[in-house]
């Protein structure tokens, strides 16, 4: 027996960088419908942030929290990796966790209970 699951107008959060070779091009978070329509940019990296030129900016490891209505992501800003959150409309964006990590890679992990 084959089971088919259809999602009606599901949203997908993803990160994208137009040109990885171009240090002025940064990874940003986007949201789109599951059919590829209505692509909306959620993050806009501040150009005056020193990490942009020195390290390049990364917004990645996205995790959607639908019951809390936000998307968390890992980002390198001000020379530190931290965990940030943004609402699906992109209007509210801020730190969830500020770390002292200056080097390395931070990866978001989800546990069984969320």
In the predicted structure, residue 7 carries a pLDDT above the cut 50: no
For residue 50, the SS3 value is: helix
Q: Is residue 80 part of a domain?
A: yes
**Structural domain span for residue 88:** 11-97
Distances (CA, A) of 88 to 4, 14, 40: 27, 12, 9
Residue 16 in domain: yes
Supply the pTM of this predicted model. Answer: 0.66
pLDDT, tens digit, for every residue of 22-43? 666 678 888 888 888 999 988 8
How many domains does the chain divide into?
A: 1
- Each residue of 68-113: pLDDT tens digit? 788 888 887 777 778 888 888 888 888 887 766 555 555 555 544 5
> Does residue 113 form part of some domain?
no
Is residue 114 domain-resident? no
């Amino acid at each position: 027996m084959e089971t088919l699951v259809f999602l009606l107008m599901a949203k997908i959060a993803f990160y994208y960088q137009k040109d990885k070779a171009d240090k002025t091009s940064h990874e940003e978070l986007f949201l789109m419908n599951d059919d590829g329509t209505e692509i909306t940019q959620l993050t806009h990296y501040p150009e005056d942030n020193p990490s942009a030129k020195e390290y390049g900016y990364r917004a990645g490891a996205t995790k959607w929290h639908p019951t809390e209505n936000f998307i968390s992501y890992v980002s390198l800003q001000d020379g530190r990796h931290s965990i940030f959150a943004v609402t699906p409309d992109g209007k509210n964006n801020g730190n969830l966790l500020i770390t002292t990590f200056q080097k390395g890679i931070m990866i978001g992990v989800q546990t069984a209970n969320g």
